[in-house]
Structure formats: C-alpha cells, structure tokens
Chains A and B, each alone.
Chain A
Amino acid sequence: MLPLVSITLFLPLAGAVLILCLPRPTARTVHGIGIGTAVLTLAGALAMWLEGVSGADFSQVDELEWIPVIGAAYRVGVDGISLPLVLLSAVMFLVAFIFASSLRERPRAYVVLILLLETTAIGTFTALDALLFYVFFEVSLVSMYFMIAGWGHEDRQRAALMFFLYTLLGSLPLLLAILGLYLGSPEPSFDMRAWIADPPLSGAAAMWALIAMLITFAVKIPAVPLHTWLPAAHVQAPTVGSVILAGIMLKFGTYGLIRFALQMTPEAFREAGMVILVFGVVSALYGAFAALAQTDLKRLVAYTSINHMGYVIVGVAVAALTLDPSVRAVALDGAVLQMFSHGLVTGALFFLVGMIQERAHSREMGAFGGLLKTVPLLGWSFILAAFASLGLPGLAHFPAEFQIFLSTLGSVPAAVVVVLGIAIIAGTFLKAIRETFLGEPRQRWHAMPDLSTRELLAVAPLLVLTVATGVAPSWVLDVIHRTTSSLVL
C-alpha cells in the first residue's frame, strides 16, 4: 500500500525543490508548478480521505527511524480530528495558489514559501512524534515571517517582527512541555501515541506542562489576552498570507489544544477546565465586540476569527469538564467542525477583502457604498461568506456552533452567555454589508471590475464547500465522530 500521508506531506516540498532547481524560470512556469503541486497534494489528501480513519487509534501510520537513541522517529498518521484539517489545508493552499497566480513580484520565492508552508501545515496536523510536530510548527513561523516581511503592506517589517517574536516566545513553552513529557515517560520516546494512551505526567508536573502548552496554543489560536499580534499581522500580510494565517495556521493552536493539552494532560486539563472555559468565553465575546468597533474590513475579519476560535476553546473545555461521553463527543465534534468551517469561511472573507483592496487600495468601510451594484458577483460572494460567518443555518458555521452550544448547555449552562457573540457578530457583518455594498453606488467606484475568472476560481470552491458543509455536515462529521466518540480521557 502506498504511504499516502508521507506522499501528500512531501509533495509540496518536492515542488519547492523543483522550482529552486530550475534556472531562471518564468513567472508562468513557477505558478504552473505551484498550482500543479497543489492539485496533486489535494489528490493525495482526497485519497487519504477515501482511505478513511478507523476510530479510536491513528490510521495510515508511516514510521521511520530518525534519532533512535533518544526515541525520536519520523511518525505520521491521521485520525478523525486531523484528517479534516489535512483536507482543509490541501483545499486552502490550492485556492491560494490560484489566487496568487497573477503575482509578478519575485514569484519564485513567493511560491516556494507557500509550498514550504503547505508541507509544514500538513506536517503539523499529521505528525505523531512530538519532536517532528515541533519542527513543523516552528518552520511554519519562518515561512510566514518571510511572507509578511517580503510581500506585506506599508508597515510590514514591524508586523513581521512582532509576529515572529510573539509566536516564537509563544511556542518555546511548548518545547519545555515536550521535554517534561519526554523525561516523564517510562521509556525515552517522543511517540505522541504513547503519551496519549498513557499520559506520562501527573499532579503538579502535569499542571505545569499544561500551563506551558496553554501559553503556546493561546498565542497561536489566539485567545485574549495573547491575541494582540493577530490584527497587526493580518493588516500587513499579503492576501494569501492572511488566508493561510487565518485559514490554516490558527488551527495549529486549536489542534494542539486538543492533541497535546487535552489528550496528553487530561487530568490537569479537567482541573483547569473552568479557567480555560472562562478564557474561551472571554475570547469569543471580546473578539465579537472588538470586531463591531472596526471600520477596516480586514481588521474586522481578523477579530471575528478571535471570536470563532473562542467557541472552539469553549467546546474543548466543555469536553474536558463533562463526565458524559456522549456530550463530550458532541462538544468535540462541534469544536473540530468549527475549525474546518472557519478555515473555509474566513479564507473566503480574506480573499474578498483582499480583492476589494486591490481594486480600491482601501479597506475602510466608509470609503465604499453601493458596491453590490458595481460588482455584484464580489458583493454577493461577500454577503454569502458573511452570513456563513455569523452562523446562519444552512451554512458551515451553524452545525459546528450549534453542537458547541448544545453541549455547553448540557454541562455548564452558565457559559451559554457566549451565544451573545453570535448576535454581535451578526450586527457587525450587517453593518459592514450595509456600509460597503448597499446604498447608492459612488461615482469613483463606477469603473471597478467584477471578479475575474482567476478570482472566481479562488473563491468559488470555498463557498461551495461552505454550503455543502452547512447543508449536509455529515460528510465531515462522520469522520470526526468516529474518533471523538471513542476518545478516552
């Protein structure tokens, strides 16, 4: 049988090497290789999806010795939590390459960086060795730093530096936690499966490890009060950078929250569950209120991300707090589906805001008005994505948030106050839609062109998947549920 996971994981890297080896390739060639590689990677991810997951344990595992003396190995595989995220990454990167294909400013380095990011993203979600996970987790930072610093907007150097320092400061505690788990495990090994099956730490040591991991993942998610890097990074990042940052890289945090914090220190997580829940609620509400106050469209979308990721934290915390396995499964189903939906919806929103910015060189809501008449395709796409983001039934976020709220109501009723976030986000987007797209079109935007084929190809797949996930979430939920229903904590 083919090692599907490894092939999918290293295809983008192979594409990057290929581009680097070509002497003076044209922009067309470079973008062609980028898109071709992303298509093949998506095919690999789909093959993994068809192969499926078995349930309690990891499936499609590939293993290879790396540093046997300290028990580090190349171990990759998927379960119901990681497989949807792998598929999401493959889709997001493909549309990112399609969108980026018009870029003419140093396309070679740009495409190589995105390909590198794709390998690190899939690697982070599939790694089953803590050291390997950390390698992918960190390399993604470097690629994103150069992306923001090289192709960002006005104040990109400062934003890139802030992003790099913040997230490096954030991720080093994870290194400490990994070392703690390693030194605490009965035999020296970085095998995450062993750590999940039999958590190596207990008592105070486990709590310290958990705190270290929570710092790391809270920066990445980002959760209030460690979120301040996100708006700055988004505002300065190029559109594709924003899409990948919000669509994929934020999920490193929530994925780690489940995979590491919840599964490797379950006892400590349960003890601290209430505190984590409160952080989740505060994040969700703060993100919503902050979004309401924005006039810059990109910052607005960035803050709604903080809100949506807050729901994920709530879902995971509820899963730890509840004693009923069926409620836990519902909470985790919701949390994982929320990650998947957020990638699609926020990815689409950032693309659309980026398109508006490319046309108007402005992101201020007040500068627009009546755009729906001048650029109807762009306008309706934005409205669809915005409705999905505010949790309209029939679109991707609804089934996810519904399950999170349902399980919260069942175990910690007081936390349901977080539902308020939905109303605020609805108000935020309705205001944005009114100011930007409704009303009388302004004279200066009359010549604004509607979506080109390239832009349509980038956004349409995300919107189609958003509707598909909203109308029939079972195609993703079945995979997720197979793992969450058999999860032992």
Chain B
Amino acid sequence: MGHDLALLMPEIAVLLTAVGVLIAEMLRRPRISLSIAAAGLLVATGLTVPLLGTETNVFGGSFRIDALSIWAKLILLPATVLSLLLARNDVGGTAREGTVYSLMCLATFGALVLAGAGDVMFLVLGTLLTSLATFALVAYPDDDSATEAAMKFFVFGSVAGAVMIFGLSYWFGATGSTLLADLARTDAVPLAAILGLVAVVVGLGYKASLVPFHFWAPDAYEGAPLSIAAYLSVVPKIGALFALTQVVSDVPANSGWPAVMAGLAVLSMTYGYLAALVQDNVVRLLAYSSIAQSGYFLLGIVAVGSSELALPSIILFAAAYAAMNLGAFAVVALTGRILSDFNGLGRTRVLMGIAMVIFLLSLVGIPPLAGFVGKFLLFAAAIDVQFTWLAVVAIANSVLSLAVYLRIVVPMYRRGERASAAPHTWPSIVVMITFAATFIIGLAAQFFLAGLVR
C-alpha cells in the first residue's frame, strides 16, 4: 500500500494543490492561489519524471502506471499551467478567480484518473470529476451565453454519463469484475461486450467531443471564457482519449471495435472540418477543428494492441496537439474572437502572425512541425494494421483542414487593414512557450519515442 501511494505521488500532489488553491481563495488571495496552482502542478510534473519507463499498476490493477498515464501527466500538467496563465487574463480581478484555478486543478486530476484507468469505476470517477469541474468553469462568467452554454454542456454530459454507467453494468454482469483487464472474459458473450463498449464510447466520446457526441462543444467553447475553451479542448479531451486507449487494449478484438473506431474517426474528421469551413467565429472554428483532431487520435487507437506504433503515435500527437492548440487559442485571446479581427494581424504584429501561422500549419500537419510527426506516426500505425483506407481518408481531410486554417491565415496578410492586438503579458508568454514546443516536439521526437518503441 505504501508503495502504491509512492507511485501516486504526482496525483496526490495535484489534489493537494487543488486544496491549497481553495484555501488561498478563502483567504481572498487570488495571486497566491495562482502561484500555488502553477507551482503545485509543476512540482507534480517533476515528481512524474522519475516514473518514466515504469510499467505497473496499483490498488490491485484498478489504476495503471504505464506509458499512457505517465505521459498524460507530463503533457496535461504543463498544459494546465499554460491554461492557468490564460485564465489569469480572462478572470483576473473577478470576484472568485481562485475557484477557477482550483476547479481547473480538480478537472485535471479527473483527466489523469481517466488516463490511468484500469477499472470501470475509475472511468466513471474520472468522467464525473472532470465533468462537474468543467460545468462550473463554463458557467463562471455568470452571463446569459455562459449560462446557456453550461446548461447544454450539463444536460449533455449527464445523459452521456448515465448511458455510460448503464452500459458498464453489462460488462460487470458478463465478467463479474470491474477490472478492465478481465474484459477478455467477455469473449463468450459478444453482445454484452458490444453494449458495454458502445456505452463507454458514448461517455468518453462526449468528453473527447467525437462526432456524433460533439454537439455541446462549439456552444460551450463559445460561451465559456476563452481560457476555459482552450482548456476544454486539450486537457479533458486528451484524458478521455487516453482512457479510450486503455479500454480498447483490453476489449477482445472479435467484438469488432477497430471498425467502430475507424467509423468514428471518419465521421469526426470529416464533419469537424466541413463544419469548421463555414464558421465566422474563430472560437467555433477552433472548436470544430478540435473535434476533427480527436478523429485523428482514433487512427492510433484503431491500431492499439496490434501495432507497436499505436501508443507512441497517440502520445506524441497528444503532446503536439496540446502545444499547437493552446498556442492558437492564446493568439485568439490576444486578437479577438471574430474572423475579421485577424485582418492584417500578420502585418501589424509580425511575430505573433508568424506564431499563428506555425500553429495552424502544425494543425494541418506540415513538416517539420509537431503536428506532422504526430500525424505521420498515426498514419503509419493505421496502415500497419491494414487500415490503409482510413489513412487515405485522414489524408484527404488534411487537405480539407488546410482550407479551414487558411481562412484565418489569408486575412492576416491582407493589404491595407490593421488589426489591433492588445499586448497582454500572460497570453504572450503562452504563445512563446507553445511556439517553441511546436518546433521542439517536431524536431526532437526522439525524446518522446525513446522507450516507447522497442
């Protein structure tokens, strides 16, 4: 037990951080609460590093310490810190800003629980934890649009969560165990396996905003403070996708889950980009783009268990996605939410323009940026398990995505128009960090892949 707790030090640190932030907030010290949050999460990141390479589990197999859960911490904790900096820009000076930081820490804790889930109870716990915290975060501004967004999010999330719990009961009935590792036993009862899987896909698909469980995402992103939208598009999403990876690695292949994942991937990528093509609101555009990007993750998930490229591709793309997506949102925070706010940005603020172009090209998957290496490995993983057609569809969608992202780039370099981007310290720092990361993850992919591929 003591050993188990030692392995969970990072998670415990995150939880303590959340509590510490809340205490500082009760003392009405918002600056201190922000410092505690950032420092605590960075400490938790530091505590994770020595665990690299560990493959074990705790609490009788119900929580896993493996590549997925360790990298989830290394990716999501820094991503949360960056979101905190963005949030400072949005909610700084409002009445209860400390609660925002605390809720973000708790939601991240939930995402980490999801990413390491080895037991269906942890799946439920993680989903509820992230959901409850993020409902409140979306509603924080307390105006009409935020309330409406939070309401939609809440109704959708509750139904999806209930469906998931209901479906998971089939798995428990078939195997007599809540451990994911025992799912192999559903071999004999394929119907129960399928029903449970569908339920999990509903629950996690909603968190990851996969089509057709995505309806809440554009509205929630639009209504929420920008930093919360950025946060939602990265942290809970990656947590849910990692959880999905954990689940399918134990579901017997004869249930046909790879085909289901491939179908969802096609739907998400295609619908996401087609819908993004007609948006005039940059936040909604990025929301639909993040729906499509979730679809790309599924290319790697399809290959889980059959190709050794599957895990590295998912993890690398998660890191790349976190960097480039947060970067793009940070530029939006500095510029404005409407497409026309970007007119002439590349001419007035040259460096910020370059940064935005790099983030968007990385989202398309242009080499040598992070997004390219991630997508490249995802394609390789899919082809490796004979899903070449899926890689072809993904590639066709990459072209579509170029049209989507160029809708932001083109006005940025239009002649004779001047965008005014307000210089704010915190988002600018986020832009710089994510900009560097977008290059480094692309060029130094070796660092992420070492130890993952044998």
Q: Please indicate whether A and B come from the same complex rather than being unrelated chains.
A: yes
Give A contacts to B, CB under 8 Å.
65-70, 109, 131, 134-135, 138-139, 141-142, 146, 149-150, 157, 161, 164-165, 168-169, 172-173, 175-176, 179-180, 182-183
* A161 and B406 contacting across the interface, CB-CB below 8 Å: yes
Chain B residues within 8 Å of A168, by CB: 364, 398-399, 402
Q: Is B446 an interface residue (CB 8 A)?
A: yes
Question: Known contacts being A70-B449, A138-B366, A138-B367, is A172 close to B398, with CB within 8 Å?
Answer: yes
- Residue of chain A at shortest CB distance from B368: A135
B449 to chain A, nearest CB (A): 5
The stretch of B24-32, B89-97, B325-333, B378-386 that contacts the partner chain: B378-386
* B402 and A165 contacting across the interface, CB-CB below 8 Å: yes
What are 8 contact pairs spanning A and B, CB under 8 A? A67-B445, A135-B368, A150-B413, A165-B399, A165-B402, A172-B399, A175-B376, A183-B383
Which residues of B (201-223) have their CB < 8 Å from a CB of A?
Answer: none
Which residues of B (252-291) have their CB < 8 Å from a CB of A?
Answer: none
Contact partner of A135 among B350, B367, B392, CB < 8 A?
B367
Interface of A is mostly: helix
Q: Is B395 an interface residue (CB 8 A)?
A: yes
Question: Known contacts being A149-B413, A164-B402, A165-B402, is A67 close to B380, with CB within 8 Å?
Answer: no
Q: Is B6 an interface residue (CB 8 A)?
A: no
* A176 and B410 contacting across the interface, CB-CB below 8 Å: no
Chain B residues within 8 Å of A66, by CB: 446
Q: Is B403 an interface residue (CB 8 A)?
A: yes
Question: Known contacts being A66-B446, A69-B446, is A179 close to B383, with CB within 8 Å?
Answer: yes
Which residues of B (311-341) have their CB < 8 Å from a CB of A?
Answer: 312
CA distance A149 to B406 in the complex (A): 11
Residues 367-393 of chain B, each 1 if its beta carbon lies under 8 Å from chain A, else 0: 110001100110110011000100110
* B446 and A67 contacting across the interface, CB-CB below 8 Å: yes
* B368 and A139 contacting across the interface, CB-CB below 8 Å: yes
Chain B residues within 8 Å of A175, by CB: 376, 379, 395
B394 to chain A, nearest CB (A): 9
Q: Is B361 an interface residue (CB 8 A)?
A: yes
* B413 and A67 contacting across the interface, CB-CB below 8 Å: no
Chain A residues within 8 Å of B422, by CB: none
Q: Is B1 an interface residue (CB 8 A)?
A: no
Query: 9 additional contacts, CB 8 Å, given A142-B361, A175-B395, A176-B395?
Result: A67-B445, A109-B350, A138-B367, A139-B366, A139-B368, A141-B366, A169-B399, A175-B379, A179-B391
Q: Is B188 an interface residue (CB 8 A)?
A: no
Chain A residues within 8 Å of B379, by CB: 175-176, 179
Chain A residues within 8 Å of B392, by CB: 176
* A69 and B391 contacting across the interface, CB-CB below 8 Å: no
Chain A residues within 8 Å of B398, by CB: 168, 172
Tally inter-chain residue pairs, CB-CB below 8 A: 75
CA distance A134 to B365 in the complex (A): 12
* A165 and B403 contacting across the interface, CB-CB below 8 Å: yes
A45 to chain B, nearest CB (A): 23
Chain A residues within 8 Å of B367, by CB: 131, 134-135, 138-139
Which of B312, B367, B384, B392 gathers the greatest number of chain A CB atoms within 10 Å?
B367
CA distance A175 to B380 in the complex (A): 10
B-side interface residues, number (CB < 8 Å): 33
CA distance A149 to B413 in the complex (A): 8
Contact partner of B406 among A134, A150, A164, A183, CB < 8 A?
A164
Contact partner of B384 among A68, A164, A169, A183, CB < 8 A?
A183
CA distance A133 to B377 in the complex (A): 16
B338 to chain A, nearest CB (A): 20
Question: Known contacts being A157-B410, A161-B410, is A69 close to B402, with CB within 8 Å?
Answer: no
* B449 and A69 contacting across the interface, CB-CB below 8 Å: yes
- Residue of chain B at shortest CB distance from A180: B383
Chain B residues within 8 Å of A164, by CB: 402, 406
Which of B350, B364, B446 gathers the greatest number of chain A CB atoms within 10 Å?
B446
Interface of B is mostly: helix
* B410 and A149 contacting across the interface, CB-CB below 8 Å: yes
CA distance A260 to B112 in the complex (A): 44
CA distance A71 to B395 in the complex (A): 23
Chain A residues within 8 Å of B391, by CB: 176, 179
Question: Known contacts being A139-B366, A172-B399, A176-B392, is A183 close to B380, with CB within 8 Å?
Answer: yes
- Residue of chain A at shortest CB distance from B454: A69
- Residue of chain B at shortest CB distance from A108: B350
CA distance A164 to B369 in the complex (A): 17
Which residues of B (434-454) have their CB < 8 Å from a CB of A?
Answer: 445-446, 449-450, 452-453
Chain B residues within 8 Å of A141, by CB: 366
CA distance A264 to B8 in the complex (A): 50
CA distance A65 to B449 in the complex (A): 14
Per CB-CB distance, the 3 closest pairs between chain A and chain B, nearest first, are: A135-B367, A172-B395, A69-B453
Contact partner of B446 among A68, A134, A172, A173, CB < 8 A?
A68
Contact partner of B453 among A70, A139, A182, CB < 8 A?
A70
CA distance A109 to B412 in the complex (A): 15
Which residues of B (404-433) have their CB < 8 Å from a CB of A?
Answer: 406, 410, 413
* A179 and B380 contacting across the interface, CB-CB below 8 Å: yes
Chain B residues within 8 Å of A176, by CB: 379, 383, 388, 391-392, 395
- Residue of chain B at shortest CB distance from A66: B446
- Residue of chain B at shortest CB distance from A182: B380
* B368 and A67 contacting across the interface, CB-CB below 8 Å: no
Which residues of B (62-100) have their CB < 8 Å from a CB of A?
Answer: none
Chain A residues within 8 Å of B452, by CB: 69
Residues 341-371 of chain B, each 1 if its beta carbon lies under 8 Å from chain A, else 0: 0000000001000000000010010111000
CA distance A69 to B376 in the complex (A): 14
A115 to chain B, nearest CB (A): 15
CA distance A65 to B445 in the complex (A): 12
CA distance A164 to B368 in the complex (A): 17
Contact partner of B449 among A67, A138, A149, CB < 8 A?
A67
CA distance A165 to B398 in the complex (A): 10
- Residue of chain B at shortest CB distance from A105: B415
Residues 220-261 of chain B, each 1 if its beta carbon lies under 8 Å from chain A, else 0: 000000000000000000000000000000000000000000
B26 to chain A, nearest CB (A): 48
- Residue of chain B at shortest CB distance from A188: B453
Chain B residues within 8 Å of A173, by CB: 395
CA distance A179 to B379 in the complex (A): 8
B372 to chain A, nearest CB (A): 8
CA distance A306 to B364 in the complex (A): 30
A183 to chain B, nearest CB (A): 6
CA distance A150 to B354 in the complex (A): 14
Which of A70, A150, A157, A173 gathers the greatest number of chain B CB atoms within 10 Å?
A70
Chain B residues within 8 Å of A67, by CB: 373, 445-446, 449
CA distance A333 to B139 in the complex (A): 70
CA distance A66 to B453 in the complex (A): 15
Chain A residues within 8 Å of B453, by CB: 69-70
- Residue of chain A at shortest CB distance from B452: A69
- Residue of chain A at shortest CB distance from B414: A157
CA distance A182 to B384 in the complex (A): 10
CA distance A70 to B381 in the complex (A): 12
B140 to chain A, nearest CB (A): 39
B349 to chain A, nearest CB (A): 14
CA distance A165 to B377 in the complex (A): 22
Chain B residues within 8 Å of A135, by CB: 367-368, 372
Residues 302-316 of chain B, each 1 if its beta carbon lies under 8 Å from chain A, else 0: 000000000010000
Question: Known contacts being A168-B402, A175-B379, is A142 close to B366, with CB within 8 Å?
Answer: yes
* A69 and B450 contacting across the interface, CB-CB below 8 Å: yes
CA distance A31 to B184 in the complex (A): 67
Chain B residues within 8 Å of A134, by CB: 367
A251 to chain B, nearest CB (A): 20
B327 to chain A, nearest CB (A): 17
- Residue of chain B at shortest CB distance from A71: B453
CA distance A180 to B413 in the complex (A): 38
CA distance A211 to B178 in the complex (A): 49
Chain A residues within 8 Å of B366, by CB: 138-139, 141-142
Chain A residues within 8 Å of B445, by CB: 67
CA distance A55 to B453 in the complex (A): 37
